[in-house]
Every structure is written in structure tokens, then in C-alpha cells.
């Protein structure tokens, strides 16, 4: 669920910029750089990025939609050249460190310096090697085959884990089989870390993890502390949720499978990575006279097609005052998995030009994908808002968490009042149905938070050497038990590479954005609900159809990356600091209920 904005910062290919970096700057190395040179450098960088962006984006799009040896080759070659140029641009920008320049020039120089996710050193052989590793890792995940050529379809295995009726033995087999895909990634991943760290150090960062954390308008170590601070606000609610879910799974499977104490076996939580637990809802739901709305069933009963689900999501945004997406969106997006080729089914949103927006998604007619579609279109509407108002280097979100949060903010309005408004249900259930609804939301939202911390904490520690190459798997499961209270269901060793079974690890997509998004979306929702005049429980508020709320939202979207994220947050909420108290407000009735259920249980792990 990721926008392709990294292309703007990574895929930079231009002989003119290369010439500026390698010749003009070196020729004047004896003289201090000037303000005019810095401004010219930035202007040339922006013009070149913009002139090359469409070609690069479409090359990446073709590879994602036609995964073959040839398209992997093309993307690897493009990535090689792009990485060379990205490193060159970043090193060129570094030469203006300490020079007093205007705000925009300085901010854009810093964006150029931190523009790469996985930087290579200024070495052609290492750059080529890194590009090939990245393409190979991407292809390994997309194909889903073990070294023994046992091939698996992630969607099919996920269905087994998601189905409450499948046995725990079937779930375990599916869980193990997907993790046969990732051990072959391990040596390549280790080598990628070595090269990326060398590249990061050339840019002036201690390691690649520091480079990643430097993108948040605050010192890198302060960002890690801020993540832990906000997690501390939510942790008591998560602990209560884990305790209740463990108890109910123990009732279902027995002591031999799930203990009443300690961590929960990872294969039983309804999701391949135990990152969201919504599929165990039938086993853990509060028993009330009014059941939660079964959105999947309603979509099927109403005969929704995949494309109709997308049209419905677009209608939400247009109801807020946003213009419809262009005709090309409907002509060029991928909505359904093709039967004749390999594609990357992981949902993503793309802006290929300021007039060309798409999503790539193998849609299933489920409640989960209905929400994901709203999320992806949130990326598209955000992309268009800043593309129309900002210069090239500001065409991104305030921070990457903002991009993820926008669609999810809209999704918080996908409640019963909204479903009635669009005709998916006939009547809004009474308040007795709120507890099941809140439980479903908590299983998806609250359960996700510690997982979203673990993915990057593990990588940060791999990059800085705290996790040695011979302890990758051990430390992965140590963090997952510490933060999530889950454990591997069978013995795992260093022959395995379980982090690689999650797309974002071999794909090198930073994951902190998802944690930030899960905090920010509730903060945004609470503020927008004030605008619509909501006086009831926060979880019953929908902003659908309110153009004043849409205008408030758009004012922040149009800022793009032009100002520090703290200022963008203040534009929306009146506060410059993240605050998870909106989450506690949203789930307050559920917290009361969980406390009651857990009063005689031994919580914690």
C-alpha cells in the first residue's frame, strides 16, 4: 500500500546533472561555493528529474505488471543508472553544506541528500551490483518459488490462514510454505546491506538506518525516541487486546496449541505476518444482540464488481469536493489479477505524470480490499494535490507517514452511517453493535502498531551492526515477541530468513511510515469530525459529503513536502506534535469491555 514517490527521488538519470556534479563543482573546488551556484544546482536537478520522470515511472510500471526476465533486466539497468545519478546528486548537494542560503534552496538540497533509500557508493561496479540485487530480490518475492522450485501463490496461502474454519495444522503448513520463498534472499540481502551502508557513509550518514531516519525534520535518534513515546501511549490498549485474543484462541485450539500465558503462535492470527488480526474476529468478537455489519457479505449480495468498488472509493473523495480522477485512471490501472502472466499484486498507487494516476491491485471482493482501495486512492488524490501546486522536489508528502495516513483517514469514515448513505446497508444498527465494530477495527489497527515498529527496528539494527548477519532470524523473532507478544509456531534457525517473507524487506520499503500513518489517521479523523460538528462517539463519525472537511484536508495535501511535517500537522490539527490520545478516545468503549473480560486473566507475555 505504497505510492511510487520514491521514483522522484531515486530514478534520476541525466548527463547534464552528472556533468554539473562531476565537472562544474570539481572545477571550483578551490573556491567556496556560492548561493547562486546552489540555486542553479537545485534548479537544474528539478528540471532534469521532471524531464526523465515519466520514462522511468513507466519502465517501473511495466515491470510491476509484467514480471519477466526481460523486464527485470530493464528495471535493473534503469535502477543502476538512477542510483549512480542519485548518489551523484546527493554528493553534489552535500558540497553546499554550511552555506547560508534561502529556505527553499536549503530544504531542496536536504531532500536531494536524503533522496535515496538504498544508496550505492560512487563506484560503477558496486552500483551495478546493487541494482541487480534489488531487481533479483523483487523478482524472487513476486515469483514465490523456493530454491527447489516449489512455487506458491501468496493469495492462496493467505486465504488458508484467513479462514476461521481451516485447522491449525493447515494454517501451519501454509505459514511454513510461504517462508520457503525467502531463505534464498538472505545472502543477497546481506550483501545489499554492506553496499548500502558504504553508500550512506559517503553521503555523511553513519549507516543506512540513520539515512532513513534523517528524513523526518528532526535528528535521527530523536525520531526513534518519538516513535517509542507514541507507542507508549497505545501499548496498554494493545496489551489488553492481546490478552483477550490469546484467551479466546486458547478456548478454540486448547493448551497444546495456544498457552494461556506468553506469546501467541504466529500462524493463528489470520494473517501471513500476524500484522493485522481481523480474520480471527469470529473467534474473539463480543457477543451482542446486534452483530457487526458483514461488509464482505454485503458487497457480494449487492453484486459489486472490482471496478465498482473503486468507483465507490472515488465517490467518497469527490463528495468532499475533490475533482474526479482522469479518464486514463480507469483505462490504465490494474484492478484484477491477470491469468496469463506474473504481476506484483501488492497494492500500490502511481503518479506517472501530473495527468496520469493509477493503482495496481489484484482486488478481491472483500471488506479488507474495499478499505485498501480507499487507502490507495488517498495516495492518488494526495499526489494530484501537490503535483498541481508544488515544484518537483516538493512533490511528496510532509513525511511518508502522511501519505499512508490520508486514505486511512477516509477509511475511518467507512462505518455504518456511511454504508447506509451509499446503500450497502438499509439501516444503521443500534449502539449494541458498536463493540463488535470496534473489536474489528482494533484487530486491524491496534494489532498492527507493534508490527510496524518491529520491521524497521530490525532493519535499523541490521544496518548499524547491532544485529549480526548470523543472527538475522533470531533477532527478528526476539523483537516480535518483545513488541507483539507472538512467537514462531515451529523452530526457526539461521537457515531461514523470515523477514524476507514480508514484501517491504526485500523491496526495501521503509516501514515507519505505516506506524506514523496509524497514529496520524486518528488524529486527523478527530479534527475533521470537529469540523463536521460530530457530537457522538468518535467511531460513529463519518465525514462523507462534507466539503468543509474536504477543504481542510486539501489545504494540507497541497503543501506537499514544502514545509516540515510538524507544520503540515499543525495546519490540520492545530498541534505540531503527534498525539495518540485520539486512538484512546476512539476505542474507549472497547477498552472498558476488554478490562472487564480480562479481570481474571494473567495478561502480558
Q: Is 379 a catalytic residue?
A: yes
Q: How sure is the predictor about 12, in pLDDT bands with cuts at 50, 70 and 90?
A: very low
pTM, to two decimals:
0.86
Question: Which CA distances in Å does 395 have to 7, 91, 262, 352?
Answer: 11, 21, 46, 12
Q: What is the mean pLDDT of residues 454-469?
A: 97
- Cα(360)–Cα(276) distance, integer angstroms: 22
Catalytic residue among 347, 405, 568, 580: 347
- Cα(267)–Cα(271) distance, integer angstroms: 7
Which pLDDT score is estimated for 487?
A: 97
- Residue carrying C-alpha cell 501454509: 174
Q: What is the mean pLDDT of residues 431-446?
A: 90
Catalytic residue among 375, 403, 525, 539: 375
Catalytic residue among 37, 404, 481, 527: 404
Q: Is 404 a catalytic residue?
A: yes
Q: What is the mean pLDDT of residues 592-596?
A: 96
- Cα(454)–Cα(459) distance, integer angstroms: 8
- Cα(194)–Cα(208) distance, integer angstroms: 10
Q: Is 376 a catalytic residue?
A: yes
Q: Is 539 a catalytic residue?
A: no
% of the chain surpassing 90 pLDDT: 75
Which pLDDT score is estimated for 2?
A: 57
Q: What is the mean pLDDT of residues 202-225?
A: 93
Which pLDDT score is estimated for 558?
A: 97
Q: How sure is the predictor about 545, in pLDDT bands with cuts at 50, 70 and 90?
A: very high
Q: Is 514 a catalytic residue?
A: yes
Query: Where along the chain do its domains lie?
Result: 2-143
Q: How sure is the predictor about 82, in pLDDT bands with cuts at 50, 70 and 90?
A: confident
Catalytic residue among 141, 216, 472, 514: 514
Q: Is 375 a catalytic residue?
A: yes
Q: Write b or e for each residue in 82-120: b if 16 or more Cβ atoms lie within 10 A of its Cβ, otherwise e.
A: bbbbbbbbbbbbebbeeeebeeebbbbbbbbbbbbbbbb
Catalytic residue among 376, 488, 518, 525: 376
Calculate the average pLDDT of the chain. Answer: 91
Which pLDDT score is estimated for 510?
A: 93
The helix or strand, by DSSP H or E, that contains position 487, with its residue range, turns out to be strand 486-487
Residues in contact with 54: Cβ distance below 8 Å, sequence separation at least 6, in sequence order: 352, 353, 356
Looking at the predicted structure, is the pLDDT value of residue 16 above 50? no
Report whether 378 contacts 409 (CB < 8 A): yes
Which H, E and C letters describe 294-351, residue by residue?
A: CHHHHHHHCCCCHHHHHHHHHHHHHHCCCCCCCHHHHHHCECCCCCCCCCCCCCEEEE
Q: What is the mean pLDDT of residues 83-110?
A: 89
Which pLDDT score is estimated for 4?
A: 62
Q: How sure is the predictor about 81, in pLDDT bands with cuts at 50, 70 and 90?
A: confident
Q: What is the mean pLDDT of residues 569-588?
A: 95
Q: Smallest Cα–Cα separation from 370: which of 315, 292, 443?
A: 315
Q: Smallest Cα–Cα separation from 8: which of 391, 440, 452?
A: 391
Q: What is the mean pLDDT of residues 56-72?
A: 90
pLDDT tens per residue across span 266-275: 999 999 999 9
Report whether 503 contacts 346 (CB < 8 A): yes
Catalytic residue among 244, 267, 374, 504: 504
Amino acid at each position: 500500500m505504497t505510492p511510487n514517490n520514491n521514483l522522484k527521488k531515486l530514478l534520476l538519470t541525466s548527463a547534464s546533472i552528472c556533468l554539473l556534479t562531476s565537472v562544474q563543482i570539481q572545477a571550483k573546488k578551490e573556491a567556496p561555493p556560492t548561493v547562486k551556484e546552489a540555486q542553479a544546482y537545485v534548479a537544474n536537478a528539478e528540471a532534469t528529474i521532471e524531464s526523465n520522470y515519466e520514462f522511468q515511472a513507466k519502465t517501473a510500471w511495466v515491470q510491476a505488471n509484467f514480471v519477466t526476465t526481460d523486464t527485470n533486466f530493464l528495471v535493473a539497468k534503469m535502477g543502476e543508472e538512477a542510483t549512480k545519478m542519485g548518489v551523484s546528486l546527493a554528493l553534489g548537494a552535500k558540497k553546499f553544506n554550511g552555506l547560508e542560503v534561502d529556505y527553499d534552496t536549503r530544504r531542496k538540497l536536504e531532500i536531494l541528500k536524503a533522496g535515496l533509500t538504498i544508496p550505492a557508493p560512487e563506484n560503477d561496479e558496486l552500483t551495478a551490483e546493487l541494482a541487480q540485487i534489488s531487481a533479483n530480490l523483487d523478482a524472487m518475492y513476486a515469483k514465490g518459488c523456493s530454491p527447489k522450485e516449489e512455487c506458491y501463490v501468496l493469495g492462496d496461502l493467505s486465504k488458508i490462514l484467513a479462514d476461521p474454519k481451516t485447522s491449525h495444522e493447515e494454517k501451519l503448513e501454509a505459514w511454513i510454505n510461504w517462508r520457503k520463498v525467502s531463505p534464498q534472499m538472505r545472502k543477497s540481502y546481506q550483501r545489499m546491506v554492506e553496499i548500502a551502508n558504504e553508500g550512506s557513509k559517503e553521503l555523511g550518514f553513519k549507516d543506512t538506518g540513520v539515512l532513513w531516519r534523517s528524513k523526518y525534520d528532526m535528528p535521527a535518534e530523536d525520531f526513534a525516541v518519538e516513535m517509542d513515546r507514541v507507542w507508549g501511549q497505545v501499548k496498554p490498549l494493545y496489551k489488553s487486546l492481546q490478552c483477550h485474543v490469546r484467551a479466546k484462541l486458547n478456548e478454540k485450539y486448547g493448551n497444546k496449541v495456544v498457552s494461556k500465558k506468553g506469546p501467541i503462535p504466529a500462524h493463528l492470527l489470520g494473517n501471513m505476518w500476524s500484522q493485522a488480526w481481523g480474520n480471527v474476529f469470529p473467534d474473539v468478537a463480543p457477543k451482542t444482540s446486534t452483530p457487526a455489519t458483514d461488509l464482505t457479505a454485503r458487497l457480494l449480495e449487492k453484486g459489486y464488481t472490482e471496478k465498482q468498488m473503486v468507483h465507490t472509493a472515488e465517490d467518497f473523495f469527490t463528495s468532499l469536493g475533490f475533482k474526479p480522477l482522469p479518464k486514463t485512471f480507469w483505462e490504465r490501472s490494474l484492478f484484477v489479477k491477470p491469468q496469463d502472466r506474473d504481476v506484483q499484486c501488492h497494492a500500490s498507487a502511481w503518479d506517472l505524470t501530473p495527468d496520469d494516476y493509477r493503482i495496481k491491485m489484484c482486488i478481491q471482493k472483500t471488506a479488507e480490499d474495499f478499505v485498501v482501495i480507499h487507502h490507495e486512492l488517498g495516495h492518488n488524490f494526495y499526489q494530484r494535490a501537490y503535483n498541481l501546486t508544488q515544484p518537483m522536489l516538493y512533490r511528496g508528502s510532509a513525511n511518508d507517514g502522511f501519505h499512508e495516513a490520508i486514505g486511512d483517514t477516509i477509511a475511518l469514515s467507512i462505518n455504518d452511517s456511511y454504508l447506509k448513505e451509499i446503500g450497502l446497508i438499509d439501516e444503521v444498527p443500534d449502539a449494541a453493535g458498536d463493540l463488535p465494530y470496534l473489536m474489528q477495527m482494533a484487530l486491524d489497527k491496534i494489532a498492527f502498531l507493534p508490527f510496524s515498529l518491529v520491521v524497521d527496528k530490525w532493519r535499523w539494527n541490521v544496518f548499524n551492526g547491532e544485529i549480526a548477519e548470523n543472527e538475522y532470524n533470531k533477532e527478528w523473532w526476539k523483537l516480535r515477541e518483545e513488541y507483539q507478544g507472538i512467537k514462531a509456531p515451529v523452530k526457526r534457525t539461521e537457515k531461514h530468513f523470515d523477514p524476507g517473507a514480508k514484501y517491504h524487506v526485500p523491496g526495501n520499503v521503509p516501514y515507519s511510515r505505516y506506524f506514523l500513518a496509524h497514529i496520524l489517521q486518528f488524529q486527523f479523523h478527530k479534527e475533521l469530525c470537529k469540523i463536521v460538528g460530530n457530537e457522538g462517539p468518535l467511531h460513529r463519525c463519518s465525514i462523507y459529503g462534507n466539503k468543509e472537511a474536504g477543504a481542510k484536508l486539501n489545504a494540507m495535501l497541497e503543501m506537499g513536502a514544502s514545509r516540515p511535517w510538524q507544520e503540515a500537522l499543525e495546519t490540520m490539527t492545530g498541534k505540531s506534535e503527534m498525539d495518540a490520545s485520539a486512538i484512546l478516545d476512539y476505542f474507549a468503549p472497547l477498552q472498558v469491555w476488554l478490562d472487564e473480560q480480562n479481570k481474571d486473566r494473567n495478561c502480558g507475555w
